Amino acid sequence: MAGAVGSEAATQRGAGGTGIALPRISLGIGESTDPQELSSTLQVMLLLTVLALAPSLLIMLTSFSRIIIVLGLLRQALGTSQLPPNQVLVGLALFLTAFVMAPVVTEVRDTAYGPYMARQISQEEALQRALKPIRQFMFRQTREQDLALMVHLAKMPRPHEREDVSTHVLIPAFIISELKSGFQMGFALFLPFIVIDLVVTSVLLSMGMMFLPPSMIALPFKLLLFVLADGWHLVVRSLVASFQ
C-alpha cells in the first residue's frame, strides 16, 4: 500500500513539473522528401559496411599476406616460437604493407577520392577509378596459371585483355599467387637454418650426447648467423623488392 502511494506521488510530481523529467525516445520510419538526405544515409551505411570488411580487404587486396607468411616462417626457421611476439610481426607487416601500397593509395587518392570529394565525378566513376590501380597491382603479382585456373573455374571465355578479367576472378588468383610466393621465400629462408640443425645434430650424435636436445644447442648459432648476416635487413629488402 505504501509503495503504491509513493509511486502515485512520484507520478504526480513528474506530471506537475516539480520532479525529474524523464527523456522520451521515439523511432520511426517516414517518407523522405529530400533526396540528398537519403543519399547521405546510404553513404553512411556503405561506409560502415566497408569498415566491417576492412580486415578482409587488407588481407585480400594488398601485400599483407605474403609479408606475414614470410615473417611467420622466418620465426619458425629460427626456432623461436614466441619471439618476436605476434604483435611485433603483425605491426611490422602492417607498416611494410603501407610502405609497399603507398603508390597505389596515392593514385587512388589523386584520381578517385579527391575528385569525388570535390564533386567532380560520381560515385560509380570514383569506384571504377579506385579499382584501376588496385587491379594493376594485383595483375603484376598474379601468375598467369593461377589467373587461368580461376577463369576456367568461372567458366568464362578466354580474356584477350586485362579489362576482360572480372575483379571477383582476379582476387582469388592474386591470393593463390601470394601464398605461393610467400612459401617460396619462406623455404629459401629455411635452408641455412636447416644446415645448422643438421650439423649440430651430427656433432652431438658423434659425441654420444643423444639425450641433449639439438635445438637448444643450434639456437644460439642460428641467432648468431642471423645477426652477423644482418638478417632483418635482408628479409625486409627482399620482401619489398619482390613487389617491384
Q: What is the DSSP string of the chain?
A: -HHHHHHHHHHHHHHHTSSPPPP-----------HHHHHHHHHHHHHHHHHHTHHHHHHHHSSHHHHHHHHHHHHHHHT-SSSS-HHHHHHHHHHHHHHHHHHHHHHHIIIIIHHHHTTSS-HHHHHHHHHHHHHHHHHHHS-HHHHHHHHHHTTPPPPSSGGGS-HHHHHHHHHHHHHHHHHHHHHHHHHHHHHHHHHHHHHHHHTT-TTS-HHHHHHHHHHHHHHHTTHHHHHHHHHHHTT-
Question: 77, 216 in Cβ contact below 8 A?
Answer: no
Reported confidence tier of residue 35, pLDDT bands at 50, 70, 90: very low
Is residue 98 scored above 80 in pLDDT?
yes
Better-predicted residue by pLDDT, 29 or 169: 169
Q: What is the pLDDT of residue 189?
A: 86
Residue 45 resides in a domain? no
Q: What is the mean pLDDT of residues 117-128?
A: 79
Q: What is the pLDDT of residue 42?
A: 66
Reported confidence tier of residue 166, pLDDT bands at 50, 70, 90: confident
Q: How many domains does the chain have?
A: 1
Residue 53 resides in a domain? no
Q: What is the pLDDT of residue 9?
A: 45
In this structure, which amino acid lies at residue 95? Answer: F
Residue 195 resides in a domain? yes
Peptide bond into 84 cis (omega under 30): yes
Is residue 43 scored above 50 in pLDDT?
yes
Residue 72 resides in a domain? yes
Residue 131 resides in a domain? yes
Q: What is the mean pLDDT of residues 46-74?
A: 80
Better-predicted residue by pLDDT, 139 or 30: 139
- pTM of the predicted protein model: 0.70
Residue 20 resides in a domain? no
* Structural domain for 174, as ranges: 64-241
Residue 47 resides in a domain? no
Residue 167 resides in a domain? yes
